[in-house]
Amino acid sequence: MTKLSNSSRAGALAAAAALCALLSSPVHSQTAPAKAASAAPAAKKPASSRKPAATQKKQQPSKAPARKAAPAPAPAPAVPAAPVPPTPSKPSFSMPAPAAGQTTRPASPSAARQVEADYIVAIVNTEPVTNSEVRVRMARAEKQMAERNMRPLPEGELRREMLERLISERAQLQYARESGLKVDEASLVQAELTIARQNQLTSIEQLHQRVQQEGLNLKDFREDVRNQVLLARLREREIEPKLKITDPDVDAFIRERTGAKPGDQEINLAMILVSVPEGASAEERARLETRAQEVGRRARAGEDFAKLAQEFSDANNRGQDGGVLGLRPADRYPELFVQSTRRLKIGEVGAPVKSDAGWHILKLLERKQGGELPDVKIPQTHASHILLRVGPSQSERVAIDRLADFKRRIQSGQSTFEALAREYSQDASAKEGGDLGWSSPGQFVPEFEQTMNNLDNGQISDPLVSRFGVHLIKVDGRREQSLTPAEQRQLARNMLRERKAQEAFETWASEVRTRAYVEYREPPR
């Protein structure tokens, strides 16, 4: 019950990468005041009240004292939304080097910006965006571009891009909060643990020490992580359910990635031929058509196709090879055969089709797409779980307490994980002792998979709340496994799903940004 159908782990990976990017550059909070506290979101101004940018009169800014909420903006026409630069789906997430032992470097543009006074640069609905927040984003972006050997953007262009991203992000966070989305402390701790593990740190305590060594305010850092988790959940709710990926979409994506042509597809068919002699009477033709329809019906009902071929096929070898025609490029089969099996799944039998030779009953045995993705090895996890569902007869608190007691009993040797799963788990895996088998990335919902990935072999998690209930998870083993052709195709589907999700998210984010009331402020003179 925990698995996702047609889901991709790439969205979760992108969210984790975005979280890790929070540590991708040092931030000198000693000289940059913390961002102003958020005011309660106000009702959106109607879009009709906006005026073109050319007629917008900018307000003279006021200083934003550190750690104080900004006053509500004076009534002013909203500024039309500027295009929001797309956020990279795979940002850098390298850890900055520890402060100890660092050498003094010449002042960089980002370092020089730290001495600027702080002030409000924009208001998003009722929440301020400060100059210090823009400077932090600029410093982080400059470091990422340097790590990737990218040519740095001019300072003015970079400032505008970072400001627009902050405005867009602020509007999304407001939308998430208004929609009732929240990130509890347990989810925040799991996100921090993921960041720590991905940066070769063994505990959250070490992560916090590194954060403070780099001059980051720990409270601000945790709030940023919480916001990134909230945005990931918002994307999951607003975008993921609306994505549709078809088999033709996947075929086109594989051709795009490999340079293969549509004719490069190979198929393997089996055939039963009911021959219609040339010059046969109408009565004979009708009798043979009825025979073909009956054979097709029996094949589609599940009878052994090879035996039916031996009994009924009028092909050259009388079906002695089971009617198998062999794997070959699709363009080496008659177009009638290719078209009539195009929509079949592997193992399916199509309705009889007519040619000059007679009636053909075709079964699709194999389909290979030319230019398949290269061999890939992926990590797999063997896990078990105990699921307690939440409802009128069992509250979430009761389920958490029961699973915590199960964990204590297992660790003290009073019982085993498998025995408790068989007796108490409310999942289909209970009869297997909670065994979920070997799973690949993206097979489980993000909150379950994140907790599972943070466990060592043999380790049991604390009770975890997911959309299905409350879980106790145990990791039984890990391995790397080469993908089968079917799994490669699923990987391609996941990659395409993530690309479409990114495109859909950018469109949705732009719409949210456009609906927000935005007022730009000029720097003090």
Residue 68 has pLDDT above 50, yes or no: no
Looking at per-residue pLDDT, the higher value among 306 and 115 belongs to 306
Give the amino acid at 50. Answer: R
User: pLDDT grade, residue 86 (50/70/90)?
Assistant: very low
DSSP classification of residue 30 = T
Q: Of 311-325, 371-385, 495-509, which gets the smallest average pLDDT?
A: 371-385
Q: In the prediction, which pLDDT does 121 show?
A: 93
Q: What is the mean pLDDT of the chain?
A: 77
The pLDDT of 485-493, averaged and rounded, is 80
pLDDT digits (tens, 9 = 90+) for 147-193: 888 888 899 999 999 999 999 999 999 999 998 988 888 888 888 88
* Cα–Cα–Cα angle for 384, 386, 390, rounded to 5 degrees: 145
Residue 97 has pLDDT above 50, yes or no: no
Q: At what angle do helices 204-213 and 185-198 cross, to 10 degrees?
A: 70
CA dist 365 and 348 (Å) reads: 8
Q: Of 93-107, 213-227, 426-440, which gets the smallest average pLDDT?
A: 93-107
The pLDDT of 188-203, averaged and rounded, is 80
Total residues found in the chain within this entry: 525
pLDDT digits (tens, 9 = 90+) for 367-405: 876 555 566 678 899 999 999 998 888 988 999 999 999
* Rg value, the chain, Cα: 30
For residue 38, the tally of other CB atoms under 10 A from its CB is 18
pLDDT digits (tens, 9 = 90+) for 237-253: 888 888 889 888 888 88
> What global pTM score does this model have?
0.44
CA dist 510 and 502 (Å) reads: 12
The pLDDT of 4-30, averaged and rounded, is 36
Residue 153, Cα to own-chain centre: how many angstroms?
Answer: 29
CA dist 427 and 405 (Å) reads: 19
Decide if 96 contacts 23 (C-beta within 8 A): yes
CA dist 147 and 454 (Å) reads: 28
The pLDDT of 271-283, averaged and rounded, is 92
pLDDT digits (tens, 9 = 90+) for 344-374: 999 999 999 999 999 999 999 998 765 555 6
In this prediction, what percent of the chain has a pLDDT beyond 70? Answer: 75
pLDDT digits (tens, 9 = 90+) for 117-146: 689 999 999 999 999 999 988 988 898 888
Q: In the prediction, which pLDDT does 285 show?
A: 92
Q: In the prediction, which pLDDT does 370 show?
A: 59
Looking at per-residue pLDDT, the higher value among 488 and 432 belongs to 432
